[in-house]
């Protein structure tokens, strides 16, 4: 029996190591007036044991091409401003409402914009002409001809996050996009302003819901960041890596870090986190019935 079990586990382990995993490879870069995106048209099947290395190599390649194209991308930003097109600075909490797609043999490049008004019949060809040179294949060819220089370590900021605490919960906004550091600085200011707006909007309603027991967690068991983490609470609050953050916008409804609900607005993910005074969450059947209504309220509240 023991031998049979060991053989079964060995077969399972071999399957996991040698299974084929597939996916599209792509990259995004957020600039002041547009978002640049590229996605390969084909799916690549990779052995499970090679998966991490394959995607790390892909990421390094994409980053290197974009790093080589940064002067041109920054020039495009200036050209869009000079062209007097109705293209606004990117608000990360709003959806893009104009996309220009460049379809190549190996992949699709897209530049996305936020426009204040529809482009006229004369303006659309003008925009198309400005972005035609930014097909990823053209940028990759220029990078190869220039000597295939890799991106510098830390050249791109992978994500930014801002957070605020309240007595019984905390809020965070995540912008999970690659950016230059100066663009990230500008986007952080926009997230800070939006977080202040959200806090003022959410706090009165949350106080009413907590008092009435209309949340999907027992209000009596909730604690603040300072109560839960002591002197370390600021570091846990301000972690910028989304996966390492206490808010973990990729995370499940609840885990050892807390209970969360999240909502998407534009490229921004809003997360509300509840912390419990105990190590484990108690059964919450009484409050669980509020889950759908609470998440719907949060989704509607975090949108403009």
Q: What is the pLDDT of residue 283?
A: 65
Q: What is the pLDDT of residue 236?
A: 86
pTM for the full predicted model = 0.87
For residue 33, give the DSSP letter: S
Tell how strand 26-30 and strand 178-179 pair up: parallel
Nearest of 166, 198, 201, 159 to residue 273 by alpha carbon:
166
Question: What region, left, alpha or beta, does residue 231 occupy, with left being phi > 0 and alpha being psi -120 to 50 degrees?
Answer: alpha
Q: What is the pLDDT of residue 188?
A: 97
Alpha-carbon distances of 173 from 37, 90, 113, 155, 170, rounded to whole Å: 22, 16, 21, 23, 11
Q: What is the pLDDT along the chain (304 residues), one digit of tens a residue?
A: 445 544 443 443 544 444 544 457 899 999 999 999 999 987 666 666 777 888 889 999 999 999 999 999 999 999 999 998 999 999 999 999 999 999 988 899 999 999 999 999 999 999 999 999 999 999 999 999 999 999 999 999 999 999 999 999 999 999 999 999 999 999 999 999 999 999 999 999 999 999 998 888 888 889 999 998 888 888 888 899 999 999 999 988 888 778 899 999 999 999 999 998 876 776 667 778 888 999 999 999 998 7
**For the chain, how many residues are written?**
304
């Amino acid at each position: 029996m023991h031998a049979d079990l060991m053989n079964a586990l060995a077969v399972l382990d071999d399957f996991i190591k040698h299974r084929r995993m597939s996916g599209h490879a792509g990259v995004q870069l957020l600039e002041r007036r547009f978002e640049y995106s590229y996605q390969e048209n084909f799916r690549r099947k990779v052995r499970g044991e090679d998966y991490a290395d394959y995607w790390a190599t892909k990421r390094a390649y994409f980053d290197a091409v974009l790093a080589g194209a940064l002067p041109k991308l920054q020039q495009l930003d200036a050209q869009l401003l000079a062209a007097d097109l109705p293209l606004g600075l990117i608000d990360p909490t709003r959806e893009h409402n104009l996309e220009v797609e460049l379809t190549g043999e190996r992949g699709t490049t897209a530049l996305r914009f936020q426009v204040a008004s529809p482009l006229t019949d004369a303006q659309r060809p003008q925009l198309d002409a400005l972005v035609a040179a930014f097909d990823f294949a053209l940028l990759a060819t220029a990078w190869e001809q220039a000597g295939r220089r890799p991106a510098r370590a830390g050249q791109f900021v992978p994500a930014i996050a801002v957070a605020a605490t309240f007595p019984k919960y905390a809020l965070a906004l995540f912008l999970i996009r690659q950016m230059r550091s100066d663009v990230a600085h500008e986007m952080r200011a926009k997230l800070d302003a939006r977080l202040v707006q959200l806090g003022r909007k959410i706090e009165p309603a949350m106080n009413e819901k907590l008092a009435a027991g209309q949340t999907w967690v027992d209000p009596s068991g909730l604690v603040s960041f300072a109560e839960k983490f002591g002197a370390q609470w600021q570091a846990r609050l301000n972690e910028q890596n989304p996966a390492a953050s206490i808010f973990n916008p990729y995370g499940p409804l609840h885990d050892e870090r807390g209970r969360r609900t999240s909502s998407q607005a534009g490229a921004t993910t809003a997360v509300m986190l509840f912390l419990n005074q105990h190590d484990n969450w108690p059964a919450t059947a009484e409050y669980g019935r509020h889950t759908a209504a609470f998440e719907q309220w949060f989704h509607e509240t975090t949108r403009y």
